[in-house]
Structure 1
Amino acid sequence: MIELEQRHFHCPGYYIRAASKRFEAEGAANLRRRVFVQEQSIFHKHDRDDIDLIATHLVALSTYAHEADQVVGTVRIHEEAPRLWWGSRLAVDSDFRAVGRLGAELIRLAVCSANARGCDRFLAHVQMQNVILFKRLHWSPLEEVTIHGTPHMRMEAQLDRYPPCADPVAGWYHRPRIHEPHR
């Protein structure tokens, strides 16, 4: 009997960067529609608003042979007032939520990008099920609010934990840790 070598699938990496190509912007909009309209039913037809016109849209891109393949995560940031930045519409495709740290990496790029642009305060309205994640990422809860009929926590990032990222379009390549099965 020939013993077969056991092989493990190695997860590809992900680009975490500002959307700079049309397919990235369209992929982010489609992902937000799937998550906020179809999955969570927070909005009826779409979640787009006036902030989309001024926001910087960030994406997590899966890769195929080290080339960007599809948008699997997104978040947007905008400066509401001088030095006051907001993050919103954080979404990760349901098929990729088990991939380690995609949401966290998008949050990191969001705050680091704003920090490089002179941010003194970075806020977000976080859905209640995600508050624990944000606390682990050095965010402080401020107050509970209801937005679009959904409970949220207004939270603030601890900026000293997020070094400035001067080139969010370049972003970075994130390779999740591989979890070997227990024997």
Structure 2
Amino acid sequence: MQALTVCELPIDFAPAAFRIKCVSEPWERREALALRRAVFCVEQGVFVGNDLDAIDAHATLLVACACVAGECDQVVGTVRIHEAEPGVWWGSRLAVHPSYRHLGRLGATLIRLAVSMAHARGATAFWAHVQQQNVALFEKLNWHLHGPVQLHGRPHGLMEASLAHYPPCHEPDWGYFTLPQARARASASAGERRT
């Protein structure tokens, strides 16, 4: 008897969309923390063992999830935010899985939701210590460099978001959807051809 094949996915299968949102399920939190360990402990060697600290006890965790059939399936990016004092918010631990760094603007969209969510919660300032190699990306996203700092033995930039470029997001549980970059370009080109 021949086996019935229900569905074969192509080897180069990639998610059709990503959802960037606040963590709402325990599995999302577990995968986000595992991703942080993989990036900051294993890949970069910034921390030994794990990267958890006192901020995690009160920070809000955001995730970028790869979607299958419109549902979150896998955490492929994360960032955390917290209010250090009234109106002053910080973002930290931005991480995107290496396999997904080329597919779209996941890091940029995580940053956008982080700042926009804090803005909706009354932020008057939003800060981050950004690894030196990522300063240029943040500058493109309307952040301002206030100077160099050493953090965890590595060069960082002390940066502040321009809140005027980040409209408040009052629905962070819903978040944002984004297409992989190549698919978004193809969709735009198809739209141009139709006009």
TM-score of the superposition, structure 1-length normalised? 0.91
Instruction: State how 1:1-183 maps to structure 2 within 5 Å.
Output: 11-177=15-181, 178=183, 179=185
Distance in 2 (CA, whole Å) between partners of 1:99 and 1:156 is 26
User: Aligned partners of 1:122 and 1:102: how far apart in 2?
Assistant: 19
Q: Is the 8 A contact 2:127 2:158 kept in 1?
A: yes
Percentage identity across paired residues of the two chains? 51
Q: CA–CA distance in 1 between the matches of 2:134 and 2:71?
A: 30
Over the aligned positions, Cα root-mean-square deviation in angstroms equals: 1.4
Is the alpha carbon distance of 1:83 and 1:38 closer, same or farther for their aligned partners in structure 2, counting shifts above 3 Å? same
> Offset at 1:176?
2.7
Residue correspondences, number: 173
Structure 1 stretches of at least 4 aligned residues deviating more than 3 Å after TM superposition: 8-11
Ranges in structure 1 where 5+ consecutive residues have no aligned partner = 1-7
Residue ranges of structure 2 left out of the alignment (5+ in a row)? 1-11, 187-195
Aligned partners of 1:37, 1:168: CA distance in 2, in Å? 28
Bigger helix fraction: 2
